[in-house]
Amino acid sequence: MDLFNTNPIHNILPFDGEVLDYDLVLNNEECAYYFTTFFNANFWEQDELVMFGKRIITARKVAWFGDLKYQYSYSSTIKNALAWTPELLALKDLIELKTGEKFNSCLLNLYHNGNEGMGWHQDNEKELGENPVIASLSLGAERKFSFKHIITKQKVDIILQSGSLILMKGETQEKWLHSLPKTTKVKTPRINLTFRNIFT
């Protein structure tokens, strides 16, 4: 039983998808340990995107891990998966236990402060299959995470604290966009781990 998490799991989307909010799945000590371990790791690379035909190197850093050396392509770039670290495997096991889902890969994003974010997008790359299931774990700075329905434009916001977990599934990636809005109010780093499945 989670003594620090008494909130029931619920879907924050009103329709056309599921985003299940598990609230906190790590305590403060665990958050500090995992954040420090990942933040100081040497696996980070600056992300590269192709926008309007130009290659852009972002301030945000990324790392990609998997059961095998999976290739993951997005924004006209290709990532090759690294081997799991013990800490990532421990979190993978925890999240699989909490959600009842299985995952074979994880994309990590490091946002140094609120000046770094992610615009509206869908995680709908072909490697993820139809109606992908994605678990998102937050460490570090508290940030707002937003969803916008493709047709109705209705928006849903959630505040993600350090140690919080959400699970995106069903039609979410088909019917909703999501983003991490930039903000000048956040001065400290956030690490986001998105566990997912690659189909080859």
The CATH number linked to 185 is 2.60.120.590
In the predicted model, what is the mean pLDDT of residues 99-111?
97
Q: Smallest Cα–Cα separation from 65: which of 87, 48, 80?
A: 80
Residues forming beta bridges with residue 48, ordered by sequence position: 57
Q: Is residue 114 a part of any domain in this protein?
A: yes
CA 11 – CA 6 distance, rounded (Å): 16
Mean pLDDT of the chain: 92
Work out the average pLDDT over 52-66: 85
Neighbour tally for 27: CB within 10 Å: 14
Over 80: is that where the pLDDT of 27 sits?
yes
**Is 46 contained in some domain?**
yes
Phi, psi of 47 (to 5 degrees): -80, 150
Mean pLDDT of 27-33: 98
Q: Give me the pLDDT at residue 143, please.
A: 98
107 part of a folded domain: yes
The closest of 72, 79, 197 to 135, measured between CA atoms, is 197
Q: Can you give the pLDDT at residue 3?
A: 46
pLDDT band at 56 (very low <50, low <70, confident <90, very high): confident
Query: How many structural domains comprise the chain?
Result: 1
Helix (H) or strand (E) holding 86: helix 86-99
Tell me if 70 is assigned to some domain: yes
> Is the distance from CB of 156 to CB of 14 less than 8 angstroms?
yes
pTM, 2 dp: 0.91
Q: Is residue 137 part of a domain?
A: yes
Identify the domain containing residue 21 by its residue range.
Answer: 10-196
8 A C-beta contact, residue 82 and residue 105: no
Residue 54 belongs to a domain: yes
Answer positive or negative: Cα dihedral of 52, 53, 54, 59: positive
Distance CA 105, CA 116 (A): 24
The residue-averaged pLDDT of 142-165 equals 98
* Phi-psi group of 177: left, alpha or beta (phi > 0 → left; psi -120 to 50 → alpha; rest → beta): beta
> Rounded to a whole number, what is the distance in angstroms from the first to the last CA of the chain?
37
Predicted pLDDT at 189 = 98
4 within domain boundaries: no
In a domain, 5, yes or no: no
